[in-house]
Amino acid sequence: MGHDDAYHWPPELLELLIELVPRLSRSKDGVLGFLRGAGVSEELLAVHRQQLAADRAAISKYKIVRAVLSQINEQGDAGLQVRRELLKRAIEFEDFSTLWPDDRLPAQGLQANARSLVNVKDSFTRMNQARNDERAARLAARTAETERLARRRAEFAALRGRFADLFNELDPRKRGTALEGVLNDVFKAEGVLLRESFVLRDEDGQVAEQIDGALEMDGSQYLVEIKWRGEPVEINAMSRHLVRVYGRSEVRALFISASGFTGPAIKESERALNQRVIVLGELRELILLLEQDGDITHWLREKVRIAQLDRRPLALLGSDF
């Protein structure tokens, strides 16, 4: 409970305490004991003890309290703990039967006013704290997003370099394997994991199917085929991939080619849209996507939307959307 200002008591609270604290003790020695118990240093109280020893009538309880409270209120952070404890004791005092009869009702009223003032102040403090917390949370979120985007740009720059290196690889097999790894990292950069190439074997241990990859996005599974050949993908290669897709319930197809697709291959994909979602893509789209710092998940979602609504399996980034 924050029964204090970060630096000092406001004037209205100080005056309430100056009127309340003397009434909480019957004697001047009792007032000094109350203050000492709250943590006021003996150094501050010594002068008042000396005055009482010399002439008890020369100083009142109220003068003692005003002098001491004014001093600790000007101590700033050094007096913070004492102010907290003194305020806590004053507003949590309960046994008013020990007070002088004429002080009981005034003390209760002063305490109620002090509590009300503290509660109002605490409410504003909590509201300010809530605003500060919200501001800090927004700042932390912006900082985290800025750092994420910086990491993403660095990752994309590295991926663009790896794509460029692929064009220097003359071995088709090595180039295809390297391309699969780059695509996997492109999807991974957006939080989508692409399962790397795998094989399915028959009962005799012979390779039954060779799958370039698979991914899951928005609750849907995609069987991925990647081709980097000198000629456009023709209908036979497309048909083989579609057969693998048909053999798996609810699975969608994503076919990416570095050299485009023949007309018959695209037509075959259009016919397959009656049964499954078929998406065709070209390698140059992914290169453009990296150059623009685009999001590959948005790219795939838009291609799926066009395939489903417009029945166009091949819609190219930069020209069709």
Q: Is residue 4 part of a domain?
A: no
The model's confidence at residue 5, banded by pLDDT at 50, 70 and 90, is very low
Number of residues assigned to the chain: 321
Pick from 125, 113, 126, 115: which is nearest to 88 by CA?
115
Residues 6+ apart with CB under 8 A from 117: 12, 13, 16
pLDDT digits (tens, 9 = 90+) for 20-30: 999 999 999 99
Same-domain check for residues 224 and 91: no
CA 120/CA 2 separation, integer angstroms? 11
DSSP code at position 56:
G
What is the pLDDT, as a whole number, of residue 22?
A: 97
Q: Is residue 74 part of a domain?
A: yes
Which CATH number belongs to the domain containing residue 277 in this structure? 3.40.1350.10
Domain boundary among 70, 101, 129: 129
Q: What is the DSSP string of 86-136?
A: HHHHHHT---GGGS-HHHHHHHHHHHHHHHHHHHHHHHHHHHHHHHHHHHH
User: What integer best gives the mean pLDDT of the chain?
Assistant: 89
Q: Is residue 44 part of a domain?
A: yes
What global pTM score does this model have?
0.56
For residue 179, pLDDT over 70 is answered with: yes
Q: Is residue 220 part of a domain?
A: yes
Same-domain check for residues 123 and 179: no
Domain range enclosing 23: 11-129
What is the pLDDT, as a whole number, of residue 78?
A: 86
Same-domain check for residues 249 and 303: yes
CA 257/CA 231 separation, integer angstroms? 10
Same-domain check for residues 65 and 198: no
Number of folded domains that form the chain: 2
Range scoring the smallest mean pLDDT among 24-38, 72-86, 191-205, 279-293: 191-205
Q: Is residue 47 part of a domain?
A: yes
